[in-house]
Chains A and B, each alone.
Chain A
């Protein structure tokens, strides 16, 4: 995929070129929205809004990391969604268990190709991490999602959320520490392969 050519075509109004970019980045964008919002439906809405907004403002893209530019669009869409949620709080619809109680973890959304053990393991980890992410302040959560979950470097994160590099370093360090403290309370629930290792040697 020649990303630059597709971006140029999209800037000239080609929706087909832009849709090729959408297909390439939609998983990353959706995952970012999902980790920030913590809800599949809201994340899907924010992802769609982000791509629409990105197409409408693609002429403002002046080069650099397109992924970082897209991430800025999706974080803005997430902030809008969170503001909407604050104004109109809703009750999420979750499936009931056999006992008639709501499921705590989104087990019903898991990949059907996984074995039951893998599924249970993945559910526990995902649930624990999402719970801890949800308890982070929004600005910390955004940084940790981009850096540690999306694997973006500091400069890309700084470009995405338009804050100085020093602020990114500070927020990321504090977010990691808070997550560590939160995840320690889930230690016993986590399967052995996911347990936080202690006493590792400094490389």
Chain B
């Protein structure tokens, strides 16, 4: 049995041969016993396969929206509130960061300016190292200060530094007061919050309200979708 005859027999069983090919094959089958035997085998196999009982599906295979990753249709305003919430949150956090940085820099002013405080005279070495840096910033503000007739503050560091400071910023000496009045003046000069508290509250409220509105919109959309 060659492959060509096998295909002819199989196609004949399925009624896939042309009438002329079928007639030719039927003529051969009358005389060729082996061909007829193979045809019978193929036919029996085909019948057996078609008798195979079809199983019912063990469960329903219907899909859920989650399975196919479908999302509910959200209102057009949803992206606006999402953006507003994200921006407000970002600015809110940024404002805190900015204010924290400004607060961190404030003690440096105090140390530099309050160098004459007796209690700080015995401070650690790092205070002495920071002092030159502090001399510059208050120096810009110093002209606005009333030139108080105060004694030059006794410095807490080496005399070389004192000399340098005196050379660089003569007006600083006016600011580097050792008495309480001078110190309170300097404390008033510490930079205020860069972002006002009111703005922070507004940003916080906008962020929370936008987020709540987003949740509400989403909830309504999902309940309608179902």
Contacts and interface: CB of A to CB of B under 8 A. Distances in A.
A153 B13 CA distance: 12
A154 interface: yes
Q: How large is the interface on B (under 10, 10 to 19, 20 to 34, 35 or more residues)?
A: 35 or more
A74 B58 CA distance: 16
A129 interface: yes
B10 A176 contact: yes
A13 B69 CA distance: 12
Contacts of A23: 60, 62
B198 interface: no
Interface of A: 13, 15, 18-19, 22-23, 26-27, 29-31, 34, 40, 44, 47-48, 51-52, 55-56, 111, 122, 125-126, 129, 144, 147-149, 151, 153-154, 169-170, 172-174, 176-177, 179-180, 183, 194, 196-200, 202
25 contacts: A13-B70, A19-B63, A22-B60, A22-B61, A27-B54, A27-B56, A29-B61, A30-B55, A30-B56, A44-B58, A44-B61, A51-B63, A125-B51, A148-B49, A149-B52, A154-B14, A169-B11, A173-B10, A174-B6, A179-B49, A180-B41, A180-B44, A183-B45, A196-B45, A202-B26
A196 B30 CA distance: 21
Interface of B: 3, 6-7, 9-11, 14, 16, 26, 29-30, 36, 38-63, 65, 67-68, 70
B42 A180 contact: yes
Given A15-B63, A27-B56, A144-B49, A173 B26 contact: no
Contacts of B43: 200
B40 A47 contact: no
A84 B167 CA distance: 81
Provide the main secondary structure of the chain A interface.
helix
Contacts of A56: 68
Contacts, number: 124
Provide the main secondary structure of the chain B interface.
helix
B11 to A, nearest CB: 5
A126 B51 CA distance: 10
